[in-house]
Amino acid sequence: MIEEEVVNIRSEDLHKKISEIKNAGYEMLVDLTVVDWYRKRDNRFELVVNLLSLSKKKRIRIFSDIPNENLECKSLTDIYPGANFYEREAFDMYGIIFLGHPDLTRILMPDDWIGHPLRKDFGLGKIPVQFKNAPKV
């Protein structure tokens, strides 16, 4: 069984702490994602980073609030190169900017797309659906 630890880290300290954790033997970044706490918390966005140490059979989950007035965080790609695509997805879907990222461009949405579709306040849009034999409205 793999032991799991959960840690809360300020966004300003995230890069340094993750570097220390990697040096402590966590060789794999498993996931990096964002949670939108729209209208539930003071800081709306929370970065979630999951790291794994196969040699120690340990897992660590890191939570870091991103301040509303500055949706920026230092990129982790220099520590874990695999963070590249996760950070691009977080940028594309939520609008979090990763400082020092080698290619922070959209990864899922078209380049000319306006907005960030996984934000809870992003409009859904409407496409009328006409079913067969349904009365015209």
In order of 22, 47, 68, 124, the CA distances from 94 in angstroms are 26, 11, 12, 15
Assigned superfamily of 3-99 = NADH:ubiquinone oxidoreductase Nqo5 subunit (3.30.460.80)
DSSP secondary structure letter of residue 11: T
Give this prediction's pTM.
Answer: 0.87
Tokens of 63: 């939570």
Instruction: For residue range 68-111, list pLDDT tens digits in order.
Output: 999 999 999 999 999 999 999 999 999 999 999 999 999 999 99
Q: Give me the residue spans of the domains in the chain.
A: 3-99
SS3 20: helix
